[in-house]
Structures are given as C-alpha cells and as structure tokens.
Amino acid sequence: MTRLRHSIWVVSAASIVAATVGIAAAQQPSETYSIGEPPGFFSGRDFAETAMAPRPDTLATQPAPMPASPAAPSVADLASAPPPAPKAPDPWTIGDYKIVPYGALWADMIYATERTYPGAFTLFVPSPQTEGESAYTIDARRTRVGFNLTGPDVSIFGGAQTGGNFEIDFFGQFVVENQAGVQLRHAYWEAKNDRWRMLVGQTSDVVSPLIMNTVNYSVGWMGGNIGFRRPQFRWERYLDFSPTSLATWQVSLNHDIVPDFSTSATVDRESSSWPVIESRFGWKLGPRGENCLPIEVGLSGHIGRTEFDFRGLGPPPQSLPPEDDAQYRTWSLNVDVKAPITERWGVQGEFFTGANLSPFLGGIGQGVCGCIRAPIRGTGGWAELWYDWNDQWHSHVGFGIDDPNNRDMQTGRTYNSLVFVNLMYDITKKFTTGFEVSYWKTSYMDSRVGQVPPEQLGPTDQANSVVFDWMFKYGF
C-alpha cells in the first residue's frame, strides 16, 4: 500500500510539473516576434482564445491521452485574422422600455491650402480677396452620443412596435472651439410594423436621403448634396410586391427653416403659416436576402415657402423699399440611385433642381437674393464610386456640383464643386481611421460694377483649395 501511494504521489507531481512547464512555454512569444510589432500582440487572452479549445463534456469523466500542444500562431497569422466581432451592448431596461446607448469619439486633423468655411469642415472656399491663406485645424466637435429606445407595442396602432432615438453632437454655438455647444441631431418617437411607419420629432429629411462617403463632416452640403435635419411629422408605407420588388412611399410635414439674412439687422425672418411638404417614392429592385445586391432608385421633392420682413432699404443700386411679409416659394425635384455592382464595389449619387434651396443646404447656402428680392434657382448633384479592398480597407472617390442660376442674383457665390478620394481602415469593428484629399473650387460674381462705389462691391476672384483630412473615429 505504501509503495502504491508513493507511485501515485510521483505520477501526480510529474503531471503538475509537466503542465506548469507546458503553460509557461505556451505563454512565451514565438521567435518571429519583432520589435516592430505593437505591444500586447501576444496577450494572454488572445493567445488562449487562439490556442485552446474546449473539450467535450464526456471527456471530463474518463481518462484520455493528453493532446499534442498546438503550434503558436505566427505574427503574420494574427495580423491577417479579421478583428473579433464586437459584443452587442446590453440594453438598459426600465419596465417595458429598453434603452441602448451608443456614440463615437470623433476627431479630425485638417490642412487646407486656402482657408475654407467654416474651417472644421468645408462648405465652400472664401474668395482670396477676403481670405486666401492656408489653415491647420484639429477638431473633436463631431463627437456624438445618443441612445435608441424600444417601448411597448401600442394597441391603438394595431400592435405596432414603438420606439425612438436621441442623438447630439457638439457643433452648436460656441465662443471658442474648445468650449463647444451642444447641437441636437435627432430626437423622435416612432411606431412601425412591416407595412408602415409613423414618426414625430426631428430627424433627416425625406428628400435626397443618400449620404456621400466623405471624411468631411458636412458630407457634401452646399457642394451638390442637399438635405439636412428638421422637425417633422412623417408617414411611410411599404409595398412588398414580390421578393424582388419593394416600394416605399414617404410623406412628411416639416417646420420651415429660414437661414437667409441670419446676420442682417434690417431683415426679420418669420415662420410660415404653412408646413414644408416633402415626399419620396423609392423602389428596391432585386433579391433582398443576405449577400444580395438590390438596386435602389428614388424620386423625391418638396414645396413650401419662406417669409421675411424687410424693415430697411435694400442694397444699392436698386435700394428696394421696406416690405412686410415678403413670401418666397421653396421647391425641389430630386433623383437618387444606389447600385451595388458586386460585393466589393458599386456606385451611388443624387441629382437636384429647384429654387430657394438654402433651407436644404443647396444654392451654396443662398436662397433669396437681397438685392432684387427674388428666389435663387439652382441645379446640381453628386456621384460616388466605392470599393472594398477587403473587410478592413475601403476607398471612395467622387465629385459634387452646386450651380445657382447667375441671373437670379447680382452678387454672391455662383458655382461650387468638389472632387475627393479617400482610404479608410477599420482597425476594429468600432475603431476607424481615414485619410482624404479633396479639391474645392468656388466662383464669385458682382454685376454691380460701375453702379456702386468699389468699396461696396463683393468679391469676384475664384477660390481654390486642396484639403487634407485625417480622421479618427472610436465608436461605442
């Protein structure tokens, strides 16, 4: 019995020593590790998930030969492996409500060969007669936080699911850039099922819904991409004709936004007595299952009006008299197309035409000419090609044009265009960096030469700027 106990003790001790040596050897980095690799490349957690596999429960109750230790993965294997899928955040539950918070820490480093407006992002380039110098900017105000809300089904709406969204960033009013103000992006309630959706609150416009994949925060606003966010009441209807044909009709009643003459001391902007009406009819053609590539096309438009009180004389030479309750129609007709060609690349774009488009960031931010008090017509659009090199590297190249009608103004911006190319890298599913080069051109005019003193004339020299933008985005 003593000899048997001694044998058991020796075998146990040998097993413990062998296991200890095996674990210590497994935790050492392989000889292919170099100083150039990032620290933590062979962390204990990463190595354990790669090299160890769970055993079936049946093996835990019976003896089995020890399996051979797997070879440690090389640096090349780990570098080529796709990043692990992020775990979905657990919702906060309050009674029948579930809240899922989200956000992104977002910053840019920007260099422009000629200063752009407003600086932290680009809408247009001021004339070299007023600016013209280069500029370097670091900005983090596009950081945003928000939450998605899911509530109980409502019987009055036929058991439709209810929910909402709230989101802010930090491009509100500010005195200096490092003391940014809060800007409301989205705040709405919705009820929906597989046939319809109703929404009340502030969110993106119905018209021209596509987003240009540019690193620039402004996504092409005033450069061919119209549409913004505004308070609205929206109704959507889904018509599923077949597995390859889905139609969507949207209509919304919106608060009128009046950006023109915001700094004028003699012009009052007034809220209209009618809402701005937006509508879109979209069609998705092709199979819609996983790994399918349906084509989406849409036709949209809006109509409304903006109102002003001109309390003083207009600019010379017309010098129009004061006018109360001046009303100007705003309208647009738009087309949008998104067409994936293969799983890796595709094209998308939009076209618009209309008048008094400053409320939708068209007309290069000019809706009504103050000299002749007339709405400014405009036409433009944008197009983009995207290409996914693999699951982590992505490229986009595109252009945009916003071309107001010169005959509807006497002075101001008459043409704005951009061309961009970028490369984005998903370090993880939630951490992205991107570098972009864009070229912006903005033209100016003033037809009042010889009619007003030279010091009252606006700029006429064309502005050109090359913008380099390096972006970092860490989502959560």
Give me the pLDDT at residue 177, please: 80
Give me the pLDDT at residue 159, please: 87
Question: Do 103 and 75 share a structural domain?
Answer: no
CATH assignment of the domain containing 218: 2.40.160.10
Question: Do 415 and 377 share a structural domain?
Answer: yes
Percentage of residues of the chain with pLDDT beyond 70: 81
Q: Kindly provide the b/e burial profile for residues 18-55, where b requires at least 16 CB atoms within 10 angstroms of the residue's own CB.
A: eeeeeeeeeeeeeeeeeeeeeeeebeeeebeeeeeeee
Q: Which of 33, 53, 80 is the last residue of a domain?
A: 80
Q: Which of 80, 115, 149 is the last residue of a domain?
A: 80
In three-state form (DSSP H/G/I as H, E/B as E, the rest C), the secondary structure along 74-103 is CHHHHHHCCCCCCCCCCCEEECCEEEEEEE
Q: Do residues 121 and 146 lie in contact, with contact meaning Cβ atoms separated by under 8 Å?
A: no
Which residues share a beta bridge with 97? 94
Residue 88 placed within a domain: no
Mean pLDDT of 128-156: 95
Instruction: Express each pLDDT in 150-191 by its tens digit.
Output: 999 988 888 899 999 999 999 998 778 888 899 999 999 999
Give me the pLDDT at residue 158, please: 84
Question: Do 218 and 169 share a structural domain?
Answer: yes
Question: Do 142 and 39 share a structural domain?
Answer: no
Residue 89 placed within a domain: no
Q: Could you tell me which residues come within 8 angstroms of residue 315 by beta carbon, excluding any fewer than 6 positions away?
A: 370, 371, 456
Question: Do 367 and 398 share a structural domain?
Answer: yes
Residue 171 placed within a domain: yes
Give me the pLDDT at residue 201, please: 98
Residue 85 placed within a domain: no
- For residue 403, CA distances in Å to 218, 351, 381, 444 come to 18, 12, 9, 11
Question: Do 59 and 114 share a structural domain?
Answer: no
Of 52-56, 152-156, 209-213, the range with the lowest mean pLDDT is 52-56
User: Of 473, 373, 372, which Cα lies nearest the Cα of 422?
Assistant: 473
Counting the structural domains of the chain, the total is 2
Residue 91 placed within a domain: no
Residue 87 placed within a domain: no
> In this model, does residue 350 exceed pLDDT 70?
yes
C-alpha torsion angle, residues 155, 160, 163, 164 (rounded to 10): -110
Question: Is the model more confident about 434 or about 21?
Answer: 434
Instruction: Express each pLDDT in 252-285 by its tens digit.
Output: 999 999 999 999 999 999 988 899 999 999 999 9
User: Of 185, 187, 86, 178, which Cα lies nearest the Cα of 144?
Assistant: 185
User: Of 227, 70, 95, 83, which Cα lies nearest the Cα of 149?
Assistant: 95
> In this model, does residue 381 exceed pLDDT 60?
yes
Mean pLDDT of 315-334: 96
> In this model, does residue 45 exceed pLDDT 80?
no
> In this model, does residue 87 exceed pLDDT 70?
no
Question: Do 355 and 240 share a structural domain?
Answer: yes
Alpha-carbon distance of 344 to 291, in angstroms, equals 11
Question: Do 124 and 36 share a structural domain?
Answer: no
Mean pLDDT of 405-428: 97
R_g of the chain computed on alpha carbons: 30
Q: Residue 90's pLDDT band (boundaries 50, 70, 90)?
A: confident
Question: Do 65 and 126 share a structural domain?
Answer: no
**DSSP states along 151-213:** ---BGGGTSBEEEEEEEEEEEE--SSTTSPEEEEEEEEEEEE-SSEEEEEEEEE-SSS-----
Give me the pLDDT at residue 469, please: 98
Alpha-carbon distance of 121 to 123, in angstroms, equals 7
Give me the pLDDT at residue 82, please: 55
Give me the pLDDT at residue 88, please: 62
Domain that holds residue 69: 2-80
Q: Could you tell me which residues come within 8 angstroms of residue 350 by beta carbon, excluding any fewer than 6 positions away?
A: 208, 210, 224, 225, 226, 334, 335, 336, 337, 381, 382
- Helices H / strands E in the chain, number of each: 3, 23
Question: Do 254 and 162 share a structural domain?
Answer: yes
Question: Do 29 and 177 share a structural domain?
Answer: no
Residue 236 placed within a domain: yes
Question: Do 464 and 416 share a structural domain?
Answer: yes
Q: Residue 84's pLDDT band (boundaries 50, 70, 90)?
A: low
Q: Which of 80, 108, 133 is the last residue of a domain?
A: 80
Instruction: Express each pLDDT in 15-43 by its tens digit.
Output: 433 333 333 333 333 333 232 333 332 23
Residue 106 placed within a domain: yes
Give me the pLDDT at residue 50, please: 32
